[in-house]
Amino acid sequence: MKKIFRLMFLTLSLVMALTLSVGASTTEPLPESDPQAIMVNDIFEHFETCQLFDKYGKEVTKDFLARHQYNYQVGNFEPIADEIWENEITLVYPVNEGVMPRLLINHSASSRMRVPYGYNGGRYTASFMLKMTSRINDYTNTFSDVDNITLVPGTLISDHPGMEAYWRTTSKEITGGTVCTQQGVVGLYYNNTSWDQIWLATGTVGTNYLSFARVK
């Protein structure tokens, strides 16, 4: 009889401990339409291909994902969002527009960028696509010439209607015929307020996406 009571007591204790543990880890989720939730979801939905950069231009993808994987799994978005805004984390991930046959001379590479910004004490994001078009020599499989990167019209998604965004190429270089790097300024403008960042974009023959590294 004592063994039965002892077993019942241990079982009850375990159930209470698990209940308290689950209750302690539960947080009120951010609404799906919240700009912070949108960016958090973007990051973890593209975790295999995304790049994350802090305000100093350092790539922090691996550490950021490892640090917040559990928070994302349990729906605890607040610490993730706090780090995004405190460190001005910018997200870049490839956009697959379809594989182009080698016989085509025209080529394009695209990626979507999501940039956090603050306005009137609020936390917001703006998202847009950047695209580089080029002509490839089909015989040598090298760039013949490359256009400046452009922001694709109609792809800007912002929490502030009327916001403007742009990319302005400041330098361009083709290396070995197969790699094109462009340094440029990414800018947002809204209601007499602007946000600027300097980025280095890289496009390679044989790939249909752009990779980025933040310069400033």
Assigned domain for 131 exists: yes
* Cα-based torsion angle of the residue sequence 144, 148, 154, 156 in order, rounded to the nearest 10 degrees: 130
Has residue 62 been placed in a domain?
no
CA pair distance 118, 87, nearest whole angstrom: 12
21 has pLDDT over 50: no
Q: Classify residue 156: in a domain, yes or no.
A: yes
pLDDT per residue as tens digits for the range 30-53: 666 677 788 899 999 988 889 999
> Rounded to whole angstroms, how far apart are CA atoms 110 and 125?
19
Domain count, the chain: 1
Which range, of 15-24, 130-139, 198-207, averages the lowest pLDDT?
15-24
How far is residue 153 from each of residues 105, 131, 167, measured CA to CA in Å?
23, 10, 11
N residues, the chain: 216
Query: Is 52 part of a structural domain of the chain?
Result: no
Burial readout 76-86 (b: 16 or more C-beta within 10 A, e: otherwise): bbeebbebbbe
pLDDT tens, 155-192?
A: 999 989 999 999 999 999 999 999 999 999 999 999 99
| 3-state class (DSSP) for residue 108 | strand
Q: Does residue 153 lie within any of the structural domains?
A: yes
The count of other CB atoms within 10 Å of the CB of residue 19 is 10
* CA gap 186, 105 in Å, rounded: 28
Cα angle at 198 between 193 and 202, to 5 degrees?
140
Cα distance between residue 174 and residue 145, in whole Å? 9
For range 107-123, the mean pLDDT: 92
Per the CB < 8 A criterion, the answer to whether 198 and 183 are in contact is yes
Provide mean pLDDT across the span 150-159. Answer: 94
Q: Is residue 151 part of a domain?
A: yes
Could you list the residue range(s) of the whole structural domain that residue 209 is in? 92-214
What is the C-alpha radius of gyration for the chain, rounded to an integer number of angstroms?
23
Per-residue model confidence (pLDDT) at position 94:
84
Whether the per-residue pLDDT at 7 is higher than 70: the answer is: no
- Residue that wins the pLDDT comparison between 103 and 114: 114
What is the model's pLDDT at position 122?
Answer: 92
pTM of the model: 0.68
* Per-residue pLDDT tens digits for 63-92: 999 999 999 999 899 999 999 989 989 999
Q: Give a yes or no: residue 67 inside a domain.
A: no
Higher pLDDT, 174 or 137: 174
